[in-house]
Structure 1
Amino acid sequence: MTIYQVAAEAGVSPSTVSNLLNGRHAKMQPETRERVESAIRKLGYRPNRAARQLRTGRVQTVGLIVPSVANPFWGTFARHFEAAALADGFYVLLCNSERDPVRERGYVEELWDDGIGGVVLCSSLPSLDHLRPVVERGLALVAFDRTAQPGDPSTVVNVGTDNVLGAQMSGSHLIELGHRRFGFVSGSIGSVNRSERYRGFRQALEAAGLPEDAITVSSAAATANFDDRDSAEMGRTAARELLDGEHPPTAIVAINDVCALGVCAGVRDAGLEVGRDVSVVGYDDIMLAQMAMPGLTTVRQPIAEMATGAFAKLREQTEAETATAGHSVLHRPELVVRGSTGPAPASRS
């Protein structure tokens, strides 16, 4: 089935069909558009992507590599990113990397070999050396949830929130509530976003004149890998460990909301009440955060704006006639206070 047969069925020119298929229908009469769409449905026509690539020099598909959609944050990000892409006539291929550089390199090379010239990478690893050969061959790469790092390829664009500021907000909030002993649960702090959040939280404590030992990092969680699939159970285990210690914290900060919900479960396991006996703060503001009992205090990322912005930056990179210089785009986070945080209990502070 070809574009010419669709044109004949609809009683229009092949160029009119082409305009519709490529989104150029602003000046097209509604009845003309309906005839063409009806002919496409009747004939079962599907555009030949290989032919389109030969004609235009590109595939109308981009790659999106996330750590794991097991974390609802990444599923929501992918949904907003896909909506932005579809609105611009692009499709999205979604890959889960578990922050494994070998898997990421394999995905990127396969996408590049299939003619896909743009990828958004969300693993926030400090080094992009495993992707450098493909980037140097022309791949447009947008790195999400990280800031530019020394040694990055010169064309990489980074998009994310100010993780340091977000963590400072959560730390200042807890300090204002009278907390002086804190737990921090992250898993490995080897990614850029996690290290920035830990640094920001420490800066808030230092600004308040609190000693270095005011914060305890869960030893079990600190050695865990990056796997988002186990974040909730990791948080639960870490909370038990912290609360069984000699000087248990009155407030626990988690690296993300899924981990924080696990921390809340661990607090309840210890026979304590979240928000009264132990305050808990997350990061992301996923949908489940407001549905938890009590609601989870967290740092909100403007996820729809970030996803749309990441796609826009990728389009800029792929359509530039010459390679453009890389840079970082930081969005401002927002502290959302709910019932999981409250004043430090006098009996435990």
Structure 2
Amino acid sequence: MANIRDVANHAEVSVSSVSNVLNNRTDQMRPETLARIRQAMLELNYQPNRIAQQLKTGQTRMIGLLVPSIVNPSFAMLTREIDRAAKASQYRVLLGNTYRQADEERAFLEDMFAHGVKGVIVVATAMDRPHFVEAARQGLVMVNYDSLMSRDTLNGNPPFDSVSMDNVEAGRLATEHLIQRGCRQLVFVTESSLTISRSHKIEGFFVAAKEHGLQQSARVIEGTAKFAYGDAEMTELGRALAAKILQACPVPDGIVAINDALGIGLMAGLRDARIRIPEDISVIGIDNIPLADLVQPPMSSVIPPLTEMVNMMMKRLLMRIENPSLAPEAFLFAPKLISRQSVIEGEKQHIR
């Protein structure tokens, strides 16, 4: 079996040059030298000893990804993007489903330390929990996705980066779209366990309603999931909430769903009740998962710039692993509207 010296001899370079390629230190290397080393590795079928590399560097080329539930389509789509970005930087992803349970989160962080992992992306989770702060104190680099810190936590200078869509703007944008299409009886539908991002979307809903003098007719309708925050049962919850929505007085003509999965379930429940979408009730979701364009009618949604957000997370994670003294920052990304056929094609109303 070929070793690093065999590769160096075959490529006619030094052992340190081969080591630089293995450790992704190629910024100062000539392209032809890099190509020659990679070709030598292929021709010799060279497999680097990852365990030896970890013992030498004190870290492994893996990152952790902590999500509430991979069953949630939004988190599944995010996981795919993170895996793509990690592989582009020659990293592997260790995935943990924690269902927002503190014990599961704590155990996952302990596993990361045990495997020599230096960086973790934490998705839609309350980062002010003590185990996250303690892990950061011990040197674990973390990026928080889609759960902006509270003002109290921000003033305390949290030891991790934050990357999020502007959820207030997402809620406002979705609601504004309904209003501009003529909807007046507005409802925001969500699971009752409120996270920071869910609360911000609801805030944006009321901001848009108030801007158009519709705050008196804007309501929130909640459903309680069987497990935790409902991350794994959003479509079922949406379908069940259709009956509750139709019992409201007056019945809404425009609905913002907390996410696309709940919105898709909601549309199925409304169709079961012989409600026409969008003629009777318009529905818009948030997240723009692939299924939103496949249901009938295709569902309008508010889309986060997911690729840009994931690239920023990977960039910050690797930068702060390389330079632990780098100060954490917060990054907020603007959402965009995707208009499909689940919202009525009414004339735009300009109400103030």
TM-score greater than 0.5 by the shorter chain = yes
Give the CA deviation at 1:326. Answer: 2.8
Q: Secondary structure at the match of 1:63?
A: strand
Corresponding residue of 1:28 = 33
1:18, distance to aligned residue in structure 2 (A): 2.7
Q: CA deviation at 1:3?
A: 2.5
Q: What residue in structure 2 maps to residue 39 of structure 1? A: 44
Whether contact under 8 Å (1:17, 1:36) holds in the other structure is no
Which secondary structure does the structure 2 equivalent of 1:228 belong to?
A: coil
Relative to structure 1, the CA distance from residue 235 to residue 6 in structure 2 (aligned partners, 3 Å threshold; closer, same or farther) is farther
Task: Report the equivalent of 2:244.
Answer: 241
CA-CA distance at 1:131 after TM superposition = 1.4
Correspondence list, 1:87-236, <5 A: 87-125=88-126, 127-149=128-150, 150-151=152-153, 154-212=158-216, 214-221=217-224, 225-236=228-239
1:326 match: secondary structure:
coil
2:275 to 272, 282, 286: 272
Counterpart Cα distance in 2 of 1:7 and 1:187? 57
Q: Which amino acid aligns with 2:126?
A: L
- String of CA shifts for 1:259-296, please: whole Å, max 9, x gaps: 11011101101101111111001001111111221111
Relative to 1, partners in 2 of residues 1:177 and 1:189: Cα closer, same or farther, differing over 3 Å? farther
Amino acid at match of 1:73: S
In structure 1, distance between residues paired with 2:293 and 2:129:
35
Tell me the CA shift for residue 176 of structure 1: 1.8
Q: CA deviation at 1:200?
A: 0.7
| Cα shift readout 1:12-50 (whole Å, capped 9, x = no counterpart) | 554454344334373326455323212125xxx3x3333
- Taking the aligned partners of 2:200 and 2:327, their CA distance within structure 1 comes to 24
> Residues 2 and 38 of structure 1: is their aligned pair in 2 closer, same or farther, counting only changes over 3 Å?
closer
Given the superposition, is the C-alpha separation of residues 196 and 170 from structure 1 closer, same or farther in structure 2, using an over 3 Å criterion? same
Contact 1:300–1:334, Cα closer than 8 Å, also in 2: yes
Question: How far 1:54 moved relative to its partner?
Answer: 2.9
Distance in structure 1 (CA, Å) of the matches to 2:11 and 2:90: 25
Q: Deviation digits for residues 123-165 of structure 1, max 9, x if unmatched?
A: 2326333311111111111100122322366221110111101
Following superposition, the deviation at residue 80 of structure 1 comes to: 1.7
Tell me if structure 1 keeps the 8 A contact 2:256–2:284: yes
Q: Is the 8 A contact 1:256 1:284 kept in 2?
A: yes
SS of residue matched to 2:64: strand
Structure 1 residue 99: Cα displacement: 1.9
Task: Tell me, yes or no, if structure 1 residue 66 matches structure 2 residue 70.
Answer: no
Unaligned runs of 5+ in 2: 347-352
Cα 1:125–1:223 change in 2 (3 A) is: farther
Name the counterpart of 1:51.
52
**Matched residue of 2:63: which SS?**
strand
Is the alpha carbon distance of 1:40 and 1:16 closer, same or farther for their aligned partners in structure 2, counting shifts above 3 Å? farther
Q: Return the alpha-carbon distance in structure 2 between the equivalents of residues 156 and 316 of structure 1.
A: 12
Gaps of 5+ in 1: 345-349
2:174 is matched by which residue type in structure 1? S
SS at match of 1:186: strand
1:28 counterpart SS class: helix
User: What TM-score, normalized by structure 1, do the two folds share?
Assistant: 0.88
Deviates more, 1:161-170 or 1:124-133: 124-133
Contact 1:254/1:282 (CA < 8 Å) preserved in 2?
yes
Cα displacement string for residues 90-139 of structure 1 (whole angstroms, at most 9, x for unaligned residues): 21111122222221121012102221111110023263333111111111
- Identity, % of aligned positions: 31
Q: Which residue of 2 aligns with 1:281?
A: 284
Q: Name the CA distance, whole Å, in 1 between partners of 2:227 and 2:111.
A: 29
SS of aligned partner of 1:239 = helix
Q: Distance in 2 between matches of 1:73 and 1:4?
A: 42
In 2, Cα distance between equivalents of 1:7 and 1:126:
45
Q: Alpha carbons of 1:329 and 1:52: their partners in 2 closer, same or farther (altered >3 Å)?
A: same
Superposed CA RMSD: 2.5
Supply the AA of the counterpart residue of 2:180.
E
Number of matched residues? 339
Name the counterpart of 2:341: 339
| Aligned residue in 1 for 2:350 | none
* 3-state secondary structure, aligned to 2:71: coil
Distance 1:29 1:259, change over 3 A: closer
